[in-house]
């Protein structure tokens, strides 16, 4: 069987796969174009792809022999599941416990950097504008005593909450289901609008479904404190980036820290011009531990499929 791997992956998983599949390995960080990927999968039985590859029905149609798509990542909104179902193509994802921890840590890095203006301060110093300590120079916000609002309290949201509690923050949350275990730890459940209104820092940790497109837009920014910070390390399309630019320019909120983007890898032009925004290149779970754990899960899914077993992480 032929397996196309459309992006560079950890070397550790290649040897086991070579024992079962004939590999067509794109050993590069540069993504294949859609036409290049079409050409590669035209005689492939399986595809291992990152979540940045958009796998739609048109692409699947080019892979006449395609029987499995193994997504390298916990999410799978990059794959048209309905098109896969129509063609009897098995789709798997690669969740990893380390991914939630790594993404929560990156989220907190954005929170701290935004609250203390670290990136803008770094740029200012490099421009030669630092003239020594002064009582009112470059003041930021202390986290202790501030209210962190979390939208979406899955594994990542819970990890962020635990870190916030350690910093002495008040934590409120909105989620589709109440999390009584976390409420026993001190979290307070609020409705969606109340979280927006009360949060000093609002952080998003929802999965992405079409209903959540632009969940945070003009109306939501109008509800937030003018001193509030927005953090997004979930999915780009949940935030209306054009509305975010307007909210920042008009002083509706004070700043933002983003790790994901609405039209990734493109970024709203206006965001690039604003010093009160920290832009991170989708590094949420970009740690050695998390990515290797994902790789092992993706590899196991592919090997199980090759043996005629149901893959452990089948999502369709």
* Residues with a known catalytic role: 235, 264, 282
- Exposure pattern of 149-172 as b/e (b: 16+ CB <10 Å)? bbbbbbbbbbbbbebbbebebbbb
Token pair of 46, please? 């399986």
d(CA 231, CA 229): 7
Token pair of 173, please? 């949350």
User: What is the residue whose two structure tokens read 């859609």?
Assistant: 34
Considering only the C-alpha atoms of the chain, give the largest distance between any 2 of them, rounded to a whole number of Å.
68
State how far the alpha carbon of 199 is from the alpha carbons of 135, 196, 247, 273, 276, in Å.
27, 6, 16, 25, 18
**220: helix, coil or strand?**
helix
Alpha-helical runs (H) found in 19-88? 34-41, 57-62, 81-86
Q: If residue 73 lies in a helix (H) or strand (E), which one and from where to where?
A: none
């Amino acid at each position: 069987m032929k397996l196309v791997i459309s992006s560079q992956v950890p070397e550790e998983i290649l040897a086991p796969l070579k024992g079962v599949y004939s590999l067509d390995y794109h050993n590069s960080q540069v993504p294949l174009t859609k036409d290049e990927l079409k050409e590669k999968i035209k005689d492939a039985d399986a595809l291992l792809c990152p979540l940045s590859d958009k796998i739609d029905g048109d692409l699947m149609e080019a892979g006449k022999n395609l029987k499995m798509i193994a997504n390298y990542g916990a999410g799978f909104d990059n794959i048209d599941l309905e098109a896969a179902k129509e063609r009897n193509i098995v789709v798997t994802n690669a969740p990893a416990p380390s991914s939630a921890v790594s993404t929560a840590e990156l989220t907190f890095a954005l929170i701290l950097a935004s609250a203390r203006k670290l990136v803008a301060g770094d740029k200012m110093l490099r421009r030669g504008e630092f003239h020594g300590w002064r009582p009112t120079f470059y003041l930021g916000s202390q986290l202790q005593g501030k209210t962190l609002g979390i939208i979406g309290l899955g594994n990542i949201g819970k990890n962020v909450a635990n870190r916030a509690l350690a910093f002495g923050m008040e934590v409120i949350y909105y989620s589709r289901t109440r999390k009584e275990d976390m409420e026993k730890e001190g979290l307070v459940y609020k409705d969606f609008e109340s979280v927006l209104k009360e949060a000093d820092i609002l952080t998003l940790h929802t999965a992405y479904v079409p209903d959540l497109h632009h969940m945070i837009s003009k109306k939501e920014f109008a509800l937030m404190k003018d001193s509030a910070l927005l953090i997004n390390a979930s999915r780009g399309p949940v935030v209306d980036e054009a509305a975010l630019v307007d909210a920042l320019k008009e002083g509706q909120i004070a700043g933002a820290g983003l790790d994901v983007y609405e039209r990734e890898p493109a970024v709203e032009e206006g965001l690039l011009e604003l010093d009160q925004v920290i832009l991170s290149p989708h590094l949420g779970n970009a740690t050695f531990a998390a990515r290797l754990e994902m790789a092992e899960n993706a590899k196991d899914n592919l090997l199980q499929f090759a043996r005629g077993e149901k893959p452990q992480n089948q999502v369709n």
